[in-house]
Amino acid sequence: MKARPADQLLLLEVASLDATIRSSDHQRRNPTQTARVNELLAQRQSESAVLTGLLGERDDARAELGRLESDVALVDARAARDRERLASTSNVKEAQGLEHELASLAARKSALEDAELALMERLETADAAVAAQETVIAQINEAGAQASVEGKAAVAAATATWEAATRDRAALAAQVPAELLAAYDRIAARGVGAGLLRRRTCEACHMVLSGTDLQALRQAADDDVVTCPECGAILVRTDESGL
C-alpha cells in the first residue's frame, strides 16, 4: 500500500487519540474509587454486625435493670404495707412476724440495690461501647460518601476526556485516506495501530528492530506503508528513525 508520509504521520495522532479514548473509557467505567467504596461497604457491614451485638447487650442490661427496679418497687410496696399493719396491730405474735418480714425485705432490697448498682455500671459501659461503635460507623459512612463524590467527579472528568478525544479522532480520521485508515483500523482492532520508528525502536511495542528488518525498511520507499515485524503496527518513519 502507498500513502504520503504526511498522511502516515496523521496515524500517530490517531493512535494517540485512540489510546486516550481507551484509557478514559476504562476510567469512566471503572473509577479507582469503586474499589474503595466496595471496601468501605464491606467494612460497614462488618462493623454494623458488631454494633448489633453491642445493642443487644445494652438492651439486655436495660431489660434486666427494669426487672430489678420492678422488684425493688414490689419490695417497697410490701414493706409499706407491713409497716402500716405493724403500726395498727396489737397482736404480739403478728407484730413479731411483721418485724421479721420487714427485716427480710430490707435485706432483699439491699441485695437488689447492690445488683442495680452493678448493672448500672454495666449499662454505662455498654452505652459507651455503642457510642464508640456508632462513631466508627459514622466515620466509615463519611469516608464512603467522600469516595463516592470523588468517584463521580472522576467519572465526569473521564467522560469529558473521552468525548473530546472521540470528537477529535473523528475530525482527524476524516483527513486520513480511506484505504490507509481502514488498514490502520484493522490493526488497531487487535492492538496498537501505528507507532513511530524512533532510533530503530518501534514505539508501538518498544522493540528494537534487527539489522535485517532495518535493512528492509531502508529499501522501502517513503510512501510505502510498512509494518513492524514484531507487533504488526504501521511503522511511521521520520528523520528520527535511525535508518
**Per-residue pLDDT tens over the stretch 162-176:** 999 999 999 999 999
pLDDT for 58-92, tens place per residue?
999 999 999 999 999 999 999 999 899 988 888 88
Q: Decide: residue 226, CB within 10 A, 0-12 exposed, 13-18 middle, 19+ buried.
A: middle
46 located within any domain? yes
pLDDT of residue 111: 94
In sequence order, what are the residues at sequence separation of 6 or more whose Cβ sits closer than 8 angstroms to the Cβ of residue 1? 179, 180, 183, 224, 225
Whether residues 16 and 117 share a domain: the answer is no
- Same domain for 94 and 185: no
Encode pLDDT of 90-127 as tens digits: 888 888 988 899 999 999 999 999 999 999 999 999 99
Quick check: is 235 in a domain? yes
Give the residue from 108, 129, 156 where a domain finishes: 156
User: Are 135 and 117 contained in the same domain?
Assistant: yes
End residue of a domain, out of 123, 156, 189: 156
In a domain, 166, yes or no: no
Instruction: Tell whether 84 is covered by a domain.
Output: yes
Q: What is the CATH number of the domain that holds 225?
A: 1.10.287.1490
- Show the domain range for 205: 5-26+174-241
Q: How confident is the model at residue 185 (pLDDT cuts 50, 70, 90)?
A: very high
pLDDT in tens, 21-48: 999 999 999 999 999 999 999 999 999 9
- The answer to whether residue 213 sits within a structural domain is yes
Residues 86 and 43 in one domain: yes
Residue 192's φ and ψ, nearest 5 degrees, are: -75, 130
Report the percent of the chain where pLDDT is more than 70: 100
Query: What are the helix (H) ranges across the chain?
Result: 5-29, 33-88, 92-173, 178-188, 211-219
> What is the structure's pLDDT at 95?
83
- Element of type H or E holding 236: strand 234-237
What mean pLDDT is reported for the chain?
94
Together in a domain, 131 and 233: no
If asked whether residues 100 and 183 sit together in one domain, one would say no
The whole-number pLDDT of residue 98 equals: 86
Residues 42 and 20 in one domain: no
Residue 43: inside a domain: yes
